[in-house]
Structure 1
């Protein structure tokens, strides 16, 4: 089996994962083929792949000859590791040597978060006397309260919301679902929004004035606009910054990494451990309940 054929089989095997994940793996594995091809290497039999070849002709070549960033290289390595695991599981290669393929150590990426003053400024921008303003205010509260991804936020339906239980069913990556909790202050804000929203035809929780589901890009743009209105310049104003901010205050309040992992929907503990490294120094100063809304609004 050639490398090109192996890639096709692997991509077929992961077709139940999100489209973004499938596209990411496809791009990385196509890059794997191209990097080898630049050196005149064509893999007609995946059984000929070795850890040394992948390290020398892929990882080190991208770093030393092509000068690619560590994040780009490591993303591609993750996809190659996933491919090797699949090929070994299917009996196409004798050994899964993915663990022997190294990652490149790069500069630590700074995780930006909002300060309390910046959060207050952002939440003051929507005009809550209008439907869209109340919707945007509630949406930002949801991101801050739960730390969910924006792609997950726009997928929420009315049937996913359980006000009495204080939970929302989230449709995450890889068709995985999880229940994310919320507290009393957000419950009251959400209830108010639902009353104003009324019986729109769409099943979506967050809708436009026409009653249609809002898009991921639409939310990204409106949050950027509110950032401009709030004159926030030193932090990237994006839905993902809300996610990092929620994690920060959760850790500062003494929340444990296992429950945070569940809430955020991370498949591993790597990212939440990173949050702990960055934000746990002041845990004793704020050892209270995790919710930012409960403590600061």
Structure 2
């Protein structure tokens, strides 16, 4: 069934509709990564529609979207990746429906794919210590990277948050850092006394700058996402860490694992890590259940008596 326009709204071509949608997302002050994710998904979708001679959003039907999803699957995309396309398309068509360009939403009958249970691999204590030995702390860049790794391990920050918080976002007395996470949600993340010492030392080494972003490169500019990812991966190789991909996500998961093992509650973990619902925090708890059971055996008074 071809969708009809609502009222006097003209039929939009795919690219014009995409431009309107992306502009609306930017006006919502979404993060650059979120907007880029929408742009990438819709670029793929528009190219697919163009290949099938579908030029107007009103001409898109359920079967077209199903075929697009099947094509992504045939290309070898994982369920989580395909679900990102589905989320982007759902937001896109919801926008067109609410704006009056569509009378029906072809995404209504599209469900997300079932995803396999995620395995969150983390670093052991020994691997963390080896990783922290990798940066050359005698150089300004090496010490900065050392402090950056400490920050991720101590706070569970997302990479984007760690790259963009400013000097004035650090509240030293309260020992919290103000960040703006996904969907530009503001939150306060606590940090330890140990990290506080290193943050202050880095700030002294960094010196004054016209740029108020906390972590800067040698040219006084904010660090690049890709550069940080590559450097942390290289440090993992230098440290001889095997069996675990050393990445910013891994450091974030390592924080979560240690938080749970040290009796941190799920609700607090959710707030610290910026999760919108309890789903991810509960996932952490489930994934680390074996470790929790070992901790119980170690500290149980009954175990100590009989062992």
Question: Where does the alignment leave 5 or more consecutive residues of structure 2 unmatched?
Answer: 1-10, 297-307
Per the alignment, residue 12 of structure 1 pairs with: 23
- Determine if contact 2:163/2:215 at 8 Å carries over to the other structure: yes
| 1:171 aligned onto 2:184 | no
Per the alignment, residue 238 of structure 1 pairs with: 247
Deviations, residues 97-116 of structure 1 (Å, cap 9, x unaligned): 64531222354443221111
Per the alignment, residue 154 of structure 2 pairs with: 145
Deviations, residues 75-110 of structure 1 (Å, cap 9, x unaligned): 211111111222232233345564531222354443
Cα distance 1:8–1:144, how it changes in 2: closer, same or farther (>3 A)?
same
SS in 2 for 1:100: coil
Per the alignment, residue 44 of structure 1 pairs with: 56
Per the alignment, residue 68 of structure 2 pairs with: 58
Distance 1:117 1:181 in 2: 24
Number of residues paired by the alignment? 283
Cα distance 1:245–1:34, how it changes in 2: closer, same or farther (>3 A)?
same
| 1:89 aligned onto 2:98 | yes
Cα distance 1:214–1:34, how it changes in 2: closer, same or farther (>3 A)?
closer
Provide the aligned C-alpha RMSD in A: 2.8
| 1:257 aligned onto 2:259 | no
Cα distance 1:254–1:88, how it changes in 2: closer, same or farther (>3 A)?
farther
Question: Where does the alignment leave 5 or more consecutive residues of structure 1 unmatched?
Answer: 288-297
Distance 1:207 1:217 in 2: 14
- Determine if contact 2:12/2:101 at 8 Å carries over to the other structure: no
Deviations, residues 176-231 of structure 1 (Å, cap 9, x unaligned): 33211112222233233334444345423223345443332332233223222211
- Determine if contact 2:17/2:57 at 8 Å carries over to the other structure: no
| 1:2 aligned onto 2:12 | yes
2:113 paired residue among 104, 109, 119: 104
| 1:32 aligned onto 2:37 | no
- Determine if contact 2:158/2:248 at 8 Å carries over to the other structure: yes
Q: Decide which structure has the larger Cα Rg and report it.
A: 2
Per the alignment, residue 120 of structure 1 pairs with: 129
Q: TM-score, normalised by structure 2?
A: 0.79
Distance 1:28 1:190 in 2: 38
SS in 2 for 1:57: helix
Q: What is the CA distance between 1:248 and its match in structure 2? A: 1.8
SS in 2 for 1:154: helix
User: 151-160 or 90-99: which moved more?
Assistant: 90-99
Q: What is the CA distance between 1:162 and its match in structure 2? A: 1.0
Per the alignment, residue 142 of structure 2 pairs with: 133
Distance 1:171 1:20 in 2: 13
Q: TM-score, normalised by structure 1?
A: 0.81
Cα distance 1:179–1:286, how it changes in 2: closer, same or farther (>3 A)?
farther
SS in 2 for 1:179: strand
Per the alignment, residue 228 of structure 2 pairs with: 219
Q: What is the CA distance between 1:143 and its match in structure 2? A: 0.5
Deviations, residues 210-260 of structure 1 (Å, cap 9, x unaligned): 544333233223322322221113221222211121122222333333332
